[in-house]
Chains A and B, each alone.
Chain A
Amino acid sequence: MLRYCDAAVRRSADLEARRNAVLNELGEAATIDAAATIANYQRMVRIADGTGIPLDAFTMKSSEPWRDRLGINSFRSRGNTFS
């Protein structure tokens, strides 16, 4: 499923193969759910970063221990919260 996400968002040539892998392993309904989830979050991230929503204080604090380890602090949209 993660490889399917990667292929869809990155527009890679193996999208069909990744989709078929999900289809073969999890079935049609799960593949449609996966496509809909990708579509949903391709939208949500654009709303968040297109309107500069800052991270709330609670999530800011609770995510501190692992944000840097996962490379999230290097995202350019970090400036929406820290500027």
Chain B
Amino acid sequence: MTTTAAPFTYADSAWSIPDRIREAHIRSWDRLATPGEWWSGAERVSIAAESRRASALVDGLPDPGPGPTELPEAAVFAVHKLIGDLPGVTLEWYEETINAEGMSDARYIELMGVLVHVWSVDEFHRALGLELEPLPDPNPGEPTRRRPEGLADHGSWPSTIAAEDVAESEADIYAGMSRAPNVLAALSLHPDSVRWLNDLFEAHYLSWEDMGDMDTRVRALTRPQLELMASRVSALNECFY
């Protein structure tokens, strides 16, 4: 189901959702609907819809249905794998996926960028018992198919951009940091996914600047409480990193 109504009003919610979160969720839906570098707006919304199908499958809920357009089979499988069998994601599986029909390393990273951000917004809603926001109508336009400069092997599976190699047009993605956090660099094959991550990370958790300050309290929870919860979620997902 998609809609053109104003999203994320939380008007009927019992929760007083902070503006920083509400506004980041609105920007997330704008990003979701907009054509990317490697997927059209309709394909991006379909990736989001598939993430909800994967989640419903895991939760034993009715199938919410597909998105506005068909995706390559490997893309559908990747979404279900990343939602429902994260510990089973391996280098062998990654290489098989990016070499499958209709896929590439860049398409995989943009797919992941869409998937994890929609999933995160949805998980916030699920954790608070809120209804999921209807997916947006896709914006028209074609993917730009532009591969960023400065990509190299830095240890993770896809090529990434080191902070010292980032081009001027992408200089904002690491926000002036001399060394990019690995999770940011991991998405740098698709710079707009890094921008999306920065935006939602700050709204849901902390700014990268606040991350470096262990003493100042910027949320209702203390920093140790936040870190403990982060560690718990990571452990439950069997995330070694």
- B186 and A48 within 8 A (CB): yes
- A42 and B233 within 8 A (CB): yes
- A76 and B87 within 8 A (CB): yes
Q: CB < 8 Å: which of A5, A56, A75, A83 contacts B239?
A: A75
Contact flags B201-241 to A (C-beta < 8 A → 1, else 0)? 10111000000000000011100011011101111111111
Known: A8-B127, A42-B123. A32 touches B18 (CB 8 A): yes
| A69 on the B face (CB < 8 A) | no
Q: How large is the interface on A (under 10, 10 to 19, 20 to 34, 35 or more residues)?
A: 35 or more
Instruction: Give chain A interface residues in 3-35, CB to chain B under 8 Å.
Output: 4-6, 8-11, 15-16, 19, 26-35
Most buried by A among B16, B127, B221, B230: B127
Number of A-B contacts (CB under 8 A): 192
- B156 and A37 within 8 A (CB): no
Q: CB < 8 Å: which of B123, B126, B186, B236 contacts A53?
A: B186
| B171 on the A face (CB < 8 A) | no
Residues of B within 8 A of A51 (CB): 109, 112, 156-158, 186-187
- B235 and A16 within 8 A (CB): no
Residues of B within 8 A of A5 (CB): 229, 232-233, 236
Name the CB-closest residue of B to A79: B90
Residues of B within 8 A of A77 (CB): 86-87, 89, 238-241
Additional 19 contacts, C-beta under 8 A, given A42-B233, A49-B87: A1-B229, A2-B229, A8-B123, A19-B127, A28-B16, A30-B221, A35-B128, A36-B205, A37-B233, A38-B124, A42-B119, A42-B237, A43-B117, A47-B112, A48-B239, A50-B82, A50-B89, A51-B156, A75-B87
Chain B positions within 8 Å of A, measured between CB atoms, are: 15-18, 21, 58-59, 82, 86-91, 94, 109, 112, 115-117, 119-121, 123-124, 126-129, 155-158, 182-183, 186-187, 197, 200-201, 203-205, 219-221, 225-226, 228-230, 232-241
